[in-house]
Amino acid sequence: MSRREDDGLARWTLILAFIIAGLFLFVSRNDARQRQAAPMAADEITSPVLSILSKPIRSAERFVFGFQDRARAHEENKALRAELLELREKQARMEVLRMKLARYEDILGAQSHTEIPLEKIAGRAVSESNGPFVHSLLINIGRGDGVEVGNPVMSPDGLVGHVIKIGEYSSRVLKLQDLNSRIAVMSPESSNRAILSGDNSANPKLSYVSDDEDWKNGDRVITSGDDGMLPRGLPIGTVQIEPNGDFRVALTGYQNALDWVWVSPFRPIPVPTEEVIPADTLDNIAGDQ
């Protein structure tokens, strides 16, 4: 084949490749906005490899964090002792309250319970995507382990995100910082409600904040469960008020390197199905009136 023919073929291959890539982008752009474009098969292939490769990196991170922890061990020890004393007192109060609550439940025949499932499915965060458009996480547990779409994913420090796609052995998690992430949240102290909206920055913002609600710097933020998708009470972070008046949340779930995470197999409240009332029943109701 002559050089001229080679050049022509190379040029056409390049044009064809541009067209193929452009078509992929055009066809999948809506799915990409919903973070549903990437096939789970790709994650299923990369997950075992990344699982092995991430081990030394996580070990190195643990070593560095351990070193930092040891450096401030003395101050932390003091702070922890003070916190322990405070918690002991709180625990004694809680025991009394728990007994009172049980007594009231007996009297009223009511049942109060937490929505957070006791069962936890542990897995490793093997890959983290922190691009300018997508913030997601790949974990090495999937459908075979009991994970379902929508399940919350927690680190030891707080909520990390929720599962958006599952394969047999891996799952894709939408992080709280992602532009598509919207979580109903509340303050446990004041019961203020808001929506935690990711905007691809490190600290997501609180949207739909009512003017008569008084969020303060340092207020704890937990899931409210109002969206029916996540249980109430999962810790998320603390409020930070920006100089421009925006409310942002410093996430606690990302304080340390993400290594082990767990999935809470929470079943969301099912969407009510529209029941078709037979025409004769409607006629009867109308007749009665």
Partner 1 sequence: MAYLSQASSTKPQRLIPLILALMIASIISFMSVKVSNQSVSLTWLPLLLIAMWPRYISPIWSVVLCLLFGLFVDWGSAGAPGQWALVYLSCYAFLRPERRGEKLTILRAIFNWLVVCFVAFVVFSVTGKIVYGEWPKLNYFAEQAGLATLLLPVAFMLRQGVRYFLIDPDERGY
Positions touching partner 1 (CB under 8 A) are 1, 3, 6-7, 9-11, 13-14, 17-18, 20-26, 28-29, 32-33, 35, 37-39, 42-43, 46, 49-50, 53-54, 57, 60-61, 65, 127-134, 136, 138, 172, 179, 200-201, 254-258
What's the closest the beta carbon of residue 154 comes to partner 1, in angstroms?
Answer: 17
Nearer Cβ to partner 1 (60/102): 60
What's the closest the beta carbon of residue 199 comes to partner 1, in angstroms?
Answer: 9
Nearer Cβ to partner 1 (42/82): 42
Nearer Cβ to partner 1 (10/282): 10
What's the closest the beta carbon of residue 20 comes to partner 1, in angstroms?
Answer: 6
And the tokens for 164?
């958006």
What's the closest the beta carbon of residue 76 comes to partner 1, in angstroms?
Answer: 16
Nearer Cβ to partner 1 (258/263): 258
Measure the CA–CA gap between 120 and 113, rounded to whole angstroms: 17
Q: Is 7 exposed, middle or buried (0-12, 13-18, 19+ CB in 10 A)?
A: exposed
Nearer Cβ to partner 1 (75/280): 75
What's the closest the beta carbon of residue 114 comes to partner 1, in angstroms?
Answer: 31
